[in-house]
Amino acid sequence: MGAAATLVLLDPRHIPIWLGWRFAFAIGAALGLIVIFFRRWIPESPRWLMIHGRNHQAEEIVADVERKIYGSPAVAVGAHGYSGAFPTRIRTRTHTPWHEIWNAIVHEHRRRSVLGFVLMSTQAFFYNAIFFTYALVLVRFYGVPEKNVGAYLLPFALGNVLGPLLLGHLFDTIGRKQMITLTYALAGVLLALTGWLFHAGFLTAQTQTLAWTIIFFVASAAASSAYLTVSEIFPLEIRGMAIAIFFAIGTLVGGVGAPFLFGWIIGTGSSTALFLGYLMAAALMIFAAVMEAWIGVAAERRPLEHIAAPLSSKGL
């Protein structure tokens, strides 16, 4: 929707340039505001409720889900289904102490922390290196008029949407390690190939856009899997904290570093330097694929408490 809106917002025939890009930028903030209201319809995690001693609410949520699926009143949670996926004794408490969070991330699950950092930072570098400098490449190297850039963003955005939509179920059926390794590696190889074609002068603005669309069909699924991974391989109590930490660090490394570096490279006007930058981003994705194949966690179709024991179960 945002990419489609730029067709109008970035066209000076409709809106002045100084105002149009501000409207386009505001779309992201508007979506953020919508999420604040959408979350009212999202049920709380039953596991989180149980850990905090709110068993009755947990049962109501699971019973409601079962009612919608089976079309008949569900029996109590403790009788079947959910309890079988949560066979661990826990102690209820209102919060998780910071020292336990630190110990879990830095010591107990150190290998998983390294994996989370690598997956998040490399995909952030890859994504931001390409996406946030895409318009600059079109204008600088292909001579695309600024008012027409929005038309090239639309297929790019379409590839980003279709990737996770069509490939997402494979992460549950084929497996996490296999699919994360494959998507990261394939995104890196495709970027290296596209970079070479760009440097050799074989691409036009249209074929460059087609190449990016194909690459990000795969890369967006890879990036989505990084978020998925760091939210499920740590103990239940700190899943939200884990994804917040690794997203922040990954964005700092890749989200800040990549646009700064590639913006400078594009400013030089050197296609060779840009090609080398693409090779670096490709190498990082392939490195992440190797790390996933080495220390990745096979978390598909497994209860969360089997992937990582809850912190509140320690000592019981």
- Show Cβ contacts of residue 293 under 8 Å, excluding neighbours closer than 6 positions: 177, 181
Structure-token pair, residue 258: 């990549």
So what's the pLDDT on residue 85? 52
pLDDT in tens, 241-292: 999 999 999 989 888 889 899 999 999 999 999 999 999 999 999 999 999 9
So what's the pLDDT on residue 6? 83
Question: At residue 298, does pLDDT exceed 80?
Answer: yes
pLDDT, averaged across the chain: 89
User: Residue ranges per domain, the chain?
Assistant: 99-305
So what's the pLDDT on residue 79? 39
**More confident of the two residues 72 and 297:** 297
pLDDT in tens, 102-111: 999 999 999 9
So what's the pLDDT on residue 123? 94
CA distance 107 to 214: 39
DSSP-derived 3-state class of residue 255: helix
Average of per-residue pLDDT across 293-301:
94
**More confident of the two residues 212 and 32:** 212
So what's the pLDDT on residue 203? 94
Q: pLDDT tier at 199 (50, 70, 90 boundaries)? A: very high
So what's the pLDDT on residue 76? 47
- Show Cβ contacts of residue 315 under 8 Å, excluding neighbours closer than 6 positions: none
Which of 28-42, 65-79, 265-279, 299-313 comes out lowest in average pLDDT?
65-79
Half-sphere exposure of residue 171: CA atoms within 13 angstroms, side-chain side: 24
Structure-token pair, residue 19: 């105002």
Average of per-residue pLDDT across 13-32:
87
So what's the pLDDT on residue 80? 40
Could you tell me the CA-to-CA distances from 97 to 100, 101, 102, 121, 244 in Å, in that order? 5, 7, 9, 27, 17
State the fold for domain 99-305. Answer: Growth Hormone; Chain: A; (1.20.1250)
So what's the pLDDT on residue 17? 84
pLDDT in tens, 66-97: 888 887 655 544 434 444 455 678 888 888 88
162 burial via Cβ count (<10 Å: 0-12, 13-18, 19+): middle
Do the beta carbons of residue 218 and residue 168 sit within 8 Å? no
